[in-house]
Amino acid sequence: MSNENKTIHEFDFSLICEYFSNVERQGPGSPEATIKALSFIDNLTSESRIVDLGCGTGGQTMTLAQNAPGQIMGIDLFPDFISIFNRNAHALGLSNRVQGIVGSMLEPLPFERETLDLIWTEGSIYNIGFERGVNEWRQYLKTNGYIAVSEASWFTEKCPDEIYNFWMAHYPEIDTIPNKVAQIQRAGYVPVATFILPENCWTEHYFAPCSRIQEAFLQKHSGDQTVKELIAGQRHEMALYQKYKEFYGYVFYIGKKI
Ligand code: SAH
């Protein structure tokens, strides 16, 4: 039974991976938002060591590399994403200082304590949970090093049941902005900046490219129930965003280790 489940699980994973390999981003964000977050971080030099956790195919990592000095390592669980990441870095002439490796953020990271200048993580920290991530990763940062993380957050104290229940089922750690800022502070960082990702980070940069590939993906896997469910889930998420976007979104949090 457990083997059967494992096979189905892995099959799902490879389909999700194939689907998201076709788009530049695997979560909400934009080059402008990445550059804005970067503008709050000072003291980076060509010696700086930067890590992008849950980097996906590296859309934001390449933006980071084009706008900040230093050595950048991307880490993601999916080998296919890392292959695309390294291909992109090479194509952009960045492979001398941008490298992707396969790894899990749920394991201890492959770094010594207090050796990193910046930990970047866009739309990925939910895999470990915001509070656990900001606490556990702090040890790898030098004093005065930064963490920059985008995270799903509530804009209001209360919201309609439908969207509340959706998030409780998918990521119950979603919380209000003041609560997330307090978690950053409690973890041993000065909260340096907080800003809400503009709507186009969802619509133009995430949902629209996904919408463009959905029909072709459905046709390629026609009759496949898992694919139908995957796409239906994505479309549901898009519809919910349109309906409830004043209640939640992604927020960039930038903290400085003290
Ligand atoms: N940062 C990218 C991808 C966000 S999607 C962007 O903004 O476009 C979330 C990413 O987390 C996916 O690429 C997924 O493969 C990765 N991921 C999931 N579980 C992980 C884990 N345990 N360790 C590292 N990466 C993980």
Number of domains in the chain: 1
**Residue 212 covered by a domain:** no
Token representation of residue 79: 């080998």
Q: What is the pLDDT, as a whole number, of residue 24?
A: 83
Residue 118 has pLDDT above 70, yes or no: yes
Q: Ligand 1 within 6 A of 77 CB?
A: yes
**Residue 50 covered by a domain:** yes
Q: What is the pLDDT, as a whole number, of residue 174?
A: 98
Is-contact 112 84, C-beta < 8 A? no
The residue whose CA has the least distance to atom 9 of ligand 1 is 124
All residues at 6 or more sequence positions from 198 whose CB lies less than 8 Å from its CB, including other chains: 30, 32, 33
CA–CA gap between residue 191 and residue 217 (Å, rounded): 42
Question: Candidates 16, 124, 137: which one to mutate for ligand 1, based on the most atoms within 8 Å of Cβ?
Answer: 124
**Residue 204 covered by a domain:** no
Helix ranges (H only) for the chain are: 2-21, 31-38, 59-67, 79-91, 130-137, 161-170, 177-186, 208-220, 225-244
Residue 8 has pLDDT above 60, yes or no: no
CATH of the domain at 155: 3.40.50.150
β partners of residue 188:
none
- How many other β-carbons are positioned within 10 Å of the β-carbon of residue 91? 10
**Residue 234 covered by a domain:** no
Q: Model-level pTM?
A: 0.94
Helix ranges (H only) for 22-158 are: 31-38, 59-67, 79-91, 130-137
**Residue 60 covered by a domain:** yes
Q: How remote is the CA of residue 3 from the centroid of ligand 1, in Å? A: 25
Name the amino acid, one letter, at 241. Answer: Y
Question: Candidates 26, 120, 128, 132: which one to mutate for ligand 1, based on the most atoms within 8 Å of Cβ?
Answer: 26
β-strand 49-53 against 71-76: which pairing, if any? parallel
Q: What is the pLDDT, as a whole number, of residue 134?
A: 98
**Residue 21 covered by a domain:** no
Give the residue-averaged pLDDT of 136-154: 98
Residue 172 has pLDDT above 70, yes or no: yes
**Residue 221 covered by a domain:** no
Burial class (CB in 10 A: 0-12, 13-18, 19+), 212: exposed
pLDDT tier at 81, thresholds 50, 70, 90:
very high
In b/e form, how buried is each residue of 106-119, taking b as 16+ CB within 10 angstroms? eeebebeeeebbbb
pLDDT tier at 4, thresholds 50, 70, 90:
very low
- The closest alpha carbon to 64, from 102, 92, 105, 87, belongs to 92
Residue 58 has pLDDT above 80, yes or no: yes
Q: Ligand 1 within 6 A of 168 CB?
A: no
Give the residue-averaged pLDDT of 184-206: 97
**Residue 17 covered by a domain:** no
Compare 25 and 161 and report the one with higher pLDDT.
161
Q: How remote is the CA of residue 60 from the centroid of ligand 1, in Å? A: 12
Domain of residue 44: give its range: 26-198+247-257
pLDDT in tens, 198-251: 999 999 999 999 999 999 999 999 999 889 998 999 999 999 999 999 999 999
Q: How remote is the CA of residue 252 from the centroid of ligand 1, in Å? A: 16
Q: How remote is the CA of residue 80 from the centroid of ligand 1, in Å? A: 12
Question: Candidates 22, 50, 76: which one to mutate for ligand 1, based on the most atoms within 8 Å of Cβ?
Answer: 76
